[in-house]
Every structure is written in structure tokens, then in C-alpha cells.
Structure 1
Amino acid sequence: MATFSGGLPRARELLSERFGLTAFRVHQLKVLGPLLAGRSVLAVLPTGAGKSLCYQLPALMARSLTLVVSPLISLMQDQVAALGRRGIPAAYLNSLLSSAERRTIVDAALSGSLTLLYCAPERLSSLVRQLARAGREVSLLAVDEAHCIVEWGNEFRPVYRQLDRYRYLLGDPVTIALTGSATPGARVEILRVLRIPRAEVVVTSFDRPNLLFCVERVRDDRERFARVRELIRGGDGPVIVYTPTRRLAELVTRALLRRGVRAAPYHAGLTAGTRRRVLRAFLRDRAPVVVATSAFGMGIDKPDVRRVLHWGPPRTVEA
């Protein structure tokens, strides 16, 4: 079993020393208590609740590597950069790296020079085999966006459904699964797939009093587009418009551009380079409107988004 030296007292010291924070939030303590005692945890916490700290801080107390499985390329890049600024050795593996870059990072993980390693799902199988062959211990396995285990249609679902096998190959490390949304049924399935039936389950309120929700009825797509355009123009900041299909994302974007709205599409059918450029333009306010499928739905860290519009209802409540 992994050991996290020092328990909560040491965690509080590191919170101040490494992260510059004075106190944990209540739900973070509910997660860290059992985790630092060596128990696996499923944490269902809303966006902005400080989920990442729940595995980044224990990683500093672990005797070996913390492996973070995440489908969010932009988020893992941001977090590795932020950890580096705090003097915490971290790296990521994803499809944007060259084979030489990936080899360098894997070598660093095998040599023990990394504290945290973020891995995209498509790189997980190869990485786990190399860690297992080398006998490299993983003290903590963090599964971000754990709802991918149960969400049909998610492109990463097949890999997430095999996480129990990867856990076994890694020696069944203490595991923390994190998600911003999971129904009671989804929670049961996540625990079953990961084979952590006795894990502590931490669920907090999703009431966000700063958010306003409304539903509007329209007669047809012409009226729908007119209303979307009106809401975009009436907003006082960046806007995300979600569409159910890639084709609609392209069509709505072109229609907005014809009417002078600076918009860009984002969906899985675009090249990785194009998606990176669109994300960068959105984060830097060069493309204040992004019309996207759910491929844009996780890990977009932009605090000034003022409106999120849905062309139609999402496929699932969790989405």
C-alpha cells in the first residue's frame, strides 16, 4: 500500500509552502483524509472546486510516482507548467509530442525524476507496459474526468473501461477518480470498473448561485439562429455555443462569420493543430465565440466566459 508521509499536518504545511494557500476547502479535506490514509476515493466535485489539488498535494507526500490519466490536453499542459513554476517535477504524454520527446519523458519517469506524470488515454497502454516491465512503482493513480467510464459516445470510453487492467498491471495503487458530474448509477459503475468497491465517495452540492439557467422555445432553426446571434451580441464577454454535431458546428460558425461575428468552430474532426489554434485564440480573446461539439466540453480554463448556449438539448444530463 502506498504511504503518504506526514498525513494531514504535513499536507497543510505543503499547501502553504508549495501552493501559497492558507486553508483547505471542506470538500478537499473530505477527499484528502481517506486518501492520505491509503484508501481509494471517488470525488464528484463541481468545476472550480479544486479537484486537481486533491492529487497534486498527495503526490508530494508519496514515495513514488503519481500517474494522472486525463483526456484534457490543454489542461495537462497548463498544470504541468504551473507545477514547474512551483518547483514540482512533472511532465505529460500525449499525441502532440514527438516520439523523441515521449521517450525522454518515459525515461524520466522510469528513473524516478518525476513526481507527477500526466498521460492521455491513447498513450496509457504503452506507458503502463513500460512501467510494469521496469518494476516502477506508482503510489497514486488519479483518473480525471472519470465519467468517461460510463458516458456512451465519449471517444476515450474504451480506454477508460480498461482501467481496472491497467491498475492491476501497476500493482493496484491507491486510486482517486475525479469528475464534475456523475449520477448515483454512474458512481456505482465507476467503482465497479475501477474495482475499488470500498472507496470513499465524496459528493458535494452542485448549486451554483452565480449561474442563471433558462430554456427558450423556438419554432425553427431560423428563429433559433436569430436568438443565438442576439444572445451573443447582448453578452459582455466570451461565448461558447454547443451543437450536437460537427456539421452543425461548421454551419453555425459560417453563418455567424457572414454576419460579422468573430467565431471559430471546434470539434474532433479538426486536426490537432487547428484545435490548438482555436483554443489559443479563444483563451486570448481573438475568437470570442467558439461553436463546438462536446469535444470542447472538458477542462477549458477561462474565467470570463459569460454565456454558454446550447443549439439543442445535450445527449445526456451529465453532458
Structure 2
Amino acid sequence: EKIRDEAIQRGFPAINLCAETATDQAYKDIERLKYRVITVSPEHILTDSHFQVLWKLKKFGDKLFNVTFDEGHCISEWGDDFRPLYGQLGNLRWFLPDHTTFHVVSATMPPHIISDVKTKLRMRSYNLAKIIRSNDRPNINLIVEEMKFPRNSMHDLTRVMDLRGG
């Protein structure tokens, strides 16, 4: 919902498809190209029959230019056991127009995870670009404070927040 809300705030009509919102009307609106941003879980996009219909619509495919995978490391880390459909997201390549690009974002993708995600998503090496930015955040610090009160009292939390001006 956060991505949907941010898109709407920036002037892009958006919908987050989930059990509550994935209605026949929502899919009709998608087919009519009402939304510029559609967020959906891997399970939903791979198993909901409405998407099989959408993939076959030329007007939908012509407008579909990008599929973004947020928390892309989950494709590798969850795709074999925990949520197997994550590992099958590369099957989208069979349905999507050739011009559709994949955009994978994550704060935690070491080289072996990047390699696995590229394989699972059937990413094309000839037009692949990696943008790697540091996740160093100088405004975030780790500090160790001695506990002076019992854990369940919350007095230490209050004390630390007072010390930090929070």
C-alpha cells in the first residue's frame, strides 16, 4: 500500500491488488488502463486468471513498460522453500511483451543473490544495468547502553529516549 500511496501522491493513478481489492471491477478498470501503477504479490500475479486475460490484451501489453520487484532478494532467498512462487517470477517473461523491462530493487543483494535473481527472472544480459549504491547511513548509529532497571519496567527505554532528545 505504501507504493500505491506514494504513486497517488505523485499524481499517478494506482491500485494495490490484494484479497480485498482484487474485484472484477478492479480488473475491468485495469483493462481500461485506469491505473499507471499496479502493485501485486508474486502469488497473485502468477495465479490469478484475470492476469492471464490481461497478458493477452494488446492495449495492456503496449502500455506495460516495466515490472518492478521490490525486496528483490526475496526472489532468491524465498523462492525455493518459503514462498515457491517467488522463484517462478521469471515465467512472466513468457507472457510479457519483449519491450517490458524488469527493475529489481533491494538493500541486501550480495553478488551471489544478484546472480541467482538474474537467473530466476531470465534477465537479458545484453540490456542489463546494475546500479549499486551504498547503504551507509551516517545518521544511523549503534549505541550500547547499560540496563539499570528491570526489563519489564521500560524505565531504561524512557531514560535512553530522554538522553537522545527523542
Listed as ranges, the gaps of 5+ residues in structure 1 are 1-73, 238-305, 307-319
Partner of 2:51: 128
Given the alignment of the two structures, is residue 92 of structure 1 paired with residue 16 of structure 2, yes or no?
A: yes
Find the counterpart in structure 1 of residue 91 from structure 2.
165
* CA RMSD of superposed structures (Å): 3.3
Residues 108-147 of structure 1 aligned to structure 2 (within 5 Å): 108-125=29-46, 126=48, 127-135=50-58, 136-137=60-61, 138-147=64-73
Distance 1:206 1:95, change over 3 A: same
- How big is the shift at 1:235? 4.4
1:1-40 to 2 correspondence within 5 Å? none
Structure with more of its chain in strand, by fraction = 1
Q: Does 1:213 align with 2:136?
A: no
- 1:114 alignment partner AA: Y
Whole-Å separation in 1 of the counterparts to 2:85 and 2:66: 19
Q: Secondary structure at the match of 2:112?
A: helix
* 1:92 Cα deviation after fit: 1.9
- How much identity, in percent, do the aligned residues show? 22
Confirm or deny: 8 A CA contact 1:149 1:160 kept in the other structure.
yes
What does the per-residue CA deviation read over 1:14-69, in whole Å, with 9 as the maximum and x for residues that have no partner? xxxxxxxxxxxxxxxxxxxxxxxxxxxxxxxxxxxxxxxxxxxxxxxxxxxxxxxx
Structure 2 vs 1, CA of residues 231 and 208 (structure 1 numbering), >3 Å: closer, same or farther? farther
Matched, 1:194 2:121: yes
Q: Structure 1's 216 and 156: CA in aligned 2 closer, same or farther, altered over 3 A?
A: farther
Give the equivalent residue in structure 2 for 1:40. none
Q: Secondary structure at the match of 2:131?
A: strand
Secondary structure of 1:150's aligned partner: helix
CA distance in 2, matches of 1:174, 1:77: 20
What letter matches 2:108 in structure 1? S
One-letter amino acid matched to 1:128: F
1:79 aligns with 2:6: yes
Secondary structure of residue in 2 paired with 1:79: helix
**Residue type at the aligned position of 1:89:** P
Counterpart position of 1:22? none
Q: Is the 8 A contact 1:142 1:176 kept in 2?
A: yes
- Residue 79 of structure 1 and its aligned partner are, at CA, apart by 2.4
Q: Secondary structure at the residue paired with 1:202?
A: coil
Q: Note if 1:178 corresponds to 2:105.
A: yes
- Aligned CA distance change for structure 1 residues 192 and 216 (closer, same or farther; 3 Å): farther
Provide the C-alpha distance between the structure 1 equivalents of 2:67 and 2:95, rounded to a whole number of angstroms.
12
**Superposed displacement of residue 102, structure 1:** 2.2
Distance 1:217 1:232, change over 3 A: closer
Would the alpha carbon gap of residues 76 and 204 (structure 1) be closer, same or farther in structure 2, given more than 3 Å must change? Answer: closer
Q: Summarize the Cα distance change of 1:194–1:153 in structure 2 as closer, same or farther, 3 Å threshold.
A: closer
Q: Report the TM-score, using the length of structure 2 for normalisation.
A: 0.74
The Cα shift of 1:177 comes to 0.7
- SS state at 1:201 partner: coil
Q: Aligned in 2, Cα 1:96/1:123: closer, same or farther, shift over 3 Å?
A: same
SS of aligned partner of 1:189: helix
* TM-score, structure 1 as length reference: 0.42
The amino acid that maps onto 2:119 is R
Q: Report the 3-state secondary structure (helix = DSSP H, G, I; strand = E; otherwise coil) of the residue aligned with 1:164.
A: helix
Over 3 Å counting, the alpha-carbon distance change for 1:187 and 1:153 in structure 2 is closer
Structure 2: unaligned runs, 5 residues or longer: none
- Give distance in 1, aligned partners of 2:107 and 2:56: 34
* Contact 2:4-2:38 within 8 A present in 1 as well: no
